[in-house]
Structure 1
C-alpha cells in the first residue's frame, strides 16, 4: 500500500484485541483509529472516511451488525466483522448486511493481514485507467473490450462510476456485489465456478471459503431481481457455479 495514506477504524470493546488489531493494521501501513463502542465507531467513521473498518459483533451498545448496516449506508469502506460467536446465522446476517468478510475469534494476526492484503488488491475507487486492468474480460455494448458501460439486455454496468441500472432504474450494490457483477458481465456466456469467482474477486490469499461467493451472489441476485420485478439475472448452474442469464430469457418484449 502506497500513495494516499490508508485509514482504518477498529471498533472493538476488548482492550487487548483492539490493540492487537490496531497493531496488525498499522504494520500493514494503515493509519489506525480505534473505538470501544458502536456509537464511538460511527462517529470516527464519519470523521475519517476510512478505507477499512473492523467491527466486533458483541459491542456493549449497538450490535456490530447494526453498526455495519449504518456504515454501509454511508461508506464504501471494506468491512470485516470479527466475533467470538460461531453461529452460522451471525455470519450470514453480517455478510447480507454488507460486510466483506467475517473472522471468528481467536484469529491470528497473519490471517487478518492476508485478508486485508487481498481486499486492497481490489480498487476502492477505480479511475478510467484502472478499469481495464480490474475487469480485463469486460465487453462494451458494441462487443469491443473497453472501460465504458457494459450492457446486457436492460442491465447496464458502468465500470468507471461503479453504477448499475436495470431498465434505467438505479440498483444500489455493495463493493463486493459490484465486483462480482463486473466479473460475470465481462464474459456473460461463461459459467463461473465458485472457486474462480473467489479468486477473481477476493484474491488468491482468501482460501477456499466458497460460501462467501454464495452469500454475495444471493444478495446480488435479489437486488437485480427486485429491480426487474421478476426473474433473476444470474442463473445457478448446478454443481458448477453461476452465469448471467440471456436477456431474452429474462425480459420478454
Structure 2
C-alpha cells in the first residue's frame, strides 16, 4: 500500500524518526525552512504509529532507535508501502550500508551531514518515487536482443538473463528472481548496453539521478547484490564484470 500524495502545492510531509534531541531540533527548523512539514517520532514504535496516522511522503529513519530499531521499522514500512526511506545513522561502514539497503531503504546518509546534502537527497528520492511523474531516460544502444516490437512490451535477453521491462520481472537460467526497484533499473541499463563499458558516473547519473550527491558506495552495494542474484559464482562474475578504474559491463555471450 503506497502513501497517498497530497495535492500539488501542498507541503511535502516528512516523518523524522530520531531520538537525539539536538538532531531533532536542528532538522525541524532546517527542514521547515526548506518548505517541508515535519512529523517527529522518537522511537521505533512511535515511528510506525505515526507512519500509519500521518501518511508521510518521505521517511528519515535513524538506525539506532529505542524500542524498535530503524532497520525493523524500515522492514515493516516496506511490507506495506513504497514511500521513499532515507536511513540516517552514525555508522558508515559498508556492512551497515548493505544492511540498510537490503531492508528496503532508498538512500543512506551518515552523521554528521550537511543539511544541504540531506535536502538534495530527499528531493532526489521524491522525484524518483512511484507516482512522481519522473520518467527514467532510456539509453541508446543495440547491445541485447529485444523480443518485442512494442516498446511497452520490451523484453531483453542477454545470455542467461531475461528481463521484462514493462512487467518488472527477471528470469535467470529459467528461474524468476526478485529485484528491488534500483536493482532492476541498474540491470536494465546494463543489459540495454550489453557488451559496452558503462562508467560509474553514467550508472549513477542514469539510475540515481544527476543530482545525486552521495559517494559511489551505493552503486557498489547494488552491483554486489545483483551478482548474488544473477551469477552462479558471485565472487567470480561471468555476466556483470568490473572494468577496473572505469565501471561495469554486462557481458554478451561469446
Task: Write out aligned runs for 1:218-229 (5 A).
Answer: 218-225=224-231
- Counterpart CA distance in 1 for 2:54 and 2:170 is 27
- Counterpart CA distance in 2 for 1:137 and 1:70 is 38
Q: Aligned pair in 2 of structure 1 residues 62, 32: CA closer, same or farther (>3 Å)?
A: same
Q: Tell me the equivalent position of 1:58.
A: 64
Q: Deviations over 1:169-199 (max 9, x none)?
A: 4432222212212222222222111122122
RMSD: 3.5
Q: Secondary structure at the match of 1:205?
A: coil
Task: Write out aligned runs for 1:196-215 (5 A).
Answer: 196-207=202-213, 209-215=215-221
Instruction: Extract unaligned runs of 5+ from structure 2.
Output: 1-5
Given that 2:58 and 2:126 are in contact with CA atoms closer than 8 Å, whether structure 1 keeps it comes out as: no
Given that 1:11 and 1:37 are in contact with CA atoms closer than 8 Å, whether structure 2 keeps it comes out as: yes
Q: Aligned pair in 2 of structure 1 residues 89, 142: CA closer, same or farther (>3 Å)?
A: closer
Q: Tell me the equivalent position of 1:178.
A: 184
- Counterpart CA distance in 2 for 1:117 and 1:88 is 24
Compute the displacement of 1:34 (Å).
Answer: 2.6
Instruction: Extract unaligned runs of 5+ from structure 1.
Output: none
Bigger proportion of residues as helix:
1
Q: Tell me the equivalent position of 1:135.
A: 138
Provide TM-score, normalisation by structure 2.
Answer: 0.76
Compute the displacement of 1:89 (Å).
Answer: 3.3
1:110 aligns with 2:116: yes
Compute the displacement of 1:232 (Å).
Answer: 5.7
Q: For structure 1, which segment, 212-221 or 153-162, has the greater mean C-alpha deviation from structure 2 after superposition? A: 153-162
Q: Secondary structure at the match of 1:74?
A: coil
Q: Tell me the equivalent position of 1:82.
A: 88
